[in-house]
Amino acid sequence: MFTKAERLISLRNLRPKKKEGFLKIISVFSFLGIMIGVAILIIVMSVMNGFKTDLTKKILGLNPHIVIESNSYEISKNFILNLKKNFKDISLNRSFTGEGIIISKNNTKGVFFRGVDKNDNNISEFFKKYLLKGSLENFNSNNIFIGTELAFNLNLKIGDTINLMSSAFVNTPLGSLPKQENFKVVGIFKTDFLEFDQNIIFLNIKDALSIFNKEIKDQNIEIYLNDPLKANSLKESIQKMNQNYFIYTWSDLNKSLFSALKVERNVMFIILTLIVIVAAFNIISGLTILIKNKTKEIAILKTLGLSNRSIKKTFFLTGLTIGFFATFSGIILGVLFSLNIEKLRILLSSVFNLEIFPSDIYFLDKLPSEINPDSIIIIFIISLLISAIASYLPAMKISKMSAFRALRYE
């Protein structure tokens, strides 16, 4: 692609003379600008990939992968048998979820009531993992489990009695009033997921049906998969078995969150790519000055028989070499930072006494990072393409130079 003579001339251009010190400065800034831009791009993309992955794992660990709601139609035993027959790698639970209000002393808060059966394997595994205080054996009728954040906000502890108000109404001599029942706090769980710990309470499924004036036929079916990422495709297959039921997945419940993350990731990618583009302008200015300074040499090369195309290739190679090594260095720097970003966060937090990644805002207790090889390849190609364009533009001016005029005025 490049001849030996073209490579030698390009290498010489990369080592400007002492009187061309300003040109050397521009080349250094071009290199540093692209390198830092690529490194920041990789670091930000790695953090956002890690945030999405960790958040997904957290959500999958706290929620069923697919939920089938009766939608006023009873979920028949034959339908459940067909589910188990058609889909071998699934486990089923019965549940019921509704919205209501928890009343404690002078405090009230809107929460989700989640009625479950403690004998279901997935539920028992959940509480074995996250139950902080209390025992699963005490999870009986008129007893509830609450999250640590909710317990803190309402000043509740094990043994306290609270009042739950549902969205169902009962007729009284005073008219229709929301149904209320008293429950005892027998367990406190902690998932380290703020939204979950302050907005969910668990109660026995029979109590949940009772407080919402529902019957056994109104229970939902929760499905857990070995591979939760297949939930959407499995949802479509289940929906074909019966169109009367309302079926949704974990991704449907968090669609707005993941859509926002995707948009933010794409916007950040575009913004940070502009850093590389701005840095590439230094290549344009540097090569333009270099070509201007090398007018005499270019004219001599032309008179010696070197074609315009070959001369353009030498200057193009000069800019591309800067872009290539800057991109490569930026990738190494970005990967190293991404691998040690949590250690750096801890160091900066201790030195400057700042909470750089507050867990109550970002849902996670540490700064995540996940290096995606595909993203690195895309960043490498884009950076190299930008460098190539920035190198090509000034090199095109050489074809307009006249060897006769250049030598005459030199």
- Mean pLDDT to the nearest integer, 174-203: 86
Whether residue 337 has pLDDT greater than 60:
yes
What average pLDDT is seen over the chain? 81
Domain that holds residue 158: 90-225
Residue 69 included in any domain: no
Is the model more confident about 217 or about 306? 217
Residue 242 included in any domain: no
Is the model more confident about 250 or about 402? 250
Answer yes or no: do 189 and 116 share one domain.
yes
Answer yes or no: do 218 and 95 share one domain.
yes
Given 225, 247, 271, the domain boundary residue is 225
C-alpha distances (whole Å) from 52 to each of 39, 46, 264, 362 are: 20, 10, 11, 11
Answer yes or no: do 314 and 379 share one domain.
yes
Whether residue 305 has pLDDT greater than 90:
no
Q: Which of 116-125, 299-308, 353-362 has the lowest mean pLDDT?
A: 353-362
Whether residue 96 has pLDDT greater than 80:
yes
Please give the model's pTM, rounded to 2 decimal places: 0.72
Adjacent-strand bridge partners of 74: none
Residue 71 included in any domain: no
In tens, the pLDDT along 211-264 reads 888 888 888 888 888 888 888 888 888 888 888 888 888 888 777 777 877 888
Given 181, 201, 225, the domain boundary residue is 225
Residue-level pLDDT at 58: 79
Q: Which of 36-45, 174-183, 192-201, 222-231 has the lowest mean pLDDT?
A: 174-183
Answer yes or no: do 267 and 393 share one domain.
yes
In tens, the pLDDT along 33-86 reads 888 889 988 988 888 888 888 778 778 778 888 898 887 788 888 888 888 888
Q: Which of 46-50, 193-197, 363-367 has the lowest mean pLDDT?
A: 363-367
**Interatomic CA distance for residues 215 and 99, integer angstroms:** 17
Answer yes or no: do 52 and 133 share one domain.
no
- Mean pLDDT to the nearest integer, 192-202: 86
Whether residue 399 has pLDDT greater than 60:
no
Residue 319, φ and ψ in degrees, nearest 5: -65, -40
Answer yes or no: do 210 and 122 share one domain.
yes
Residue 177 included in any domain: yes
Q: Which of 241, 252, 133 is nearest to 189 (CA)?
A: 133
**Interatomic CA distance for residues 228 and 226, integer angstroms:** 6
Is the model more confident about 131 or about 11? 131
Given 175, 205, 225, the domain boundary residue is 225
**Interatomic CA distance for residues 45 and 212, integer angstroms:** 45
In tens, the pLDDT along 319-329 reads 888 888 889 99
Answer yes or no: do 139 and 191 share one domain.
yes
Residue 380 included in any domain: yes
**Interatomic CA distance for residues 147 and 15, integer angstroms:** 65
Residue-level pLDDT at 147: 92
Residue 83 included in any domain: no
Share above pLDDT 70 across residues of the chain, in percent, rounded to a whole number? 83
Whether residue 202 has pLDDT greater than 90:
yes
Residue-level pLDDT at 409: 46
Q: Are 171 and 126 in contact (CB under 8 A)?
A: no
Residue-level pLDDT at 269: 85
Answer yes or no: do 164 and 122 share one domain.
yes
Residue 249 included in any domain: no
Residue 233 included in any domain: no
Name the domain count of the chain: 2
Whether residue 145 has pLDDT greater than 90:
yes
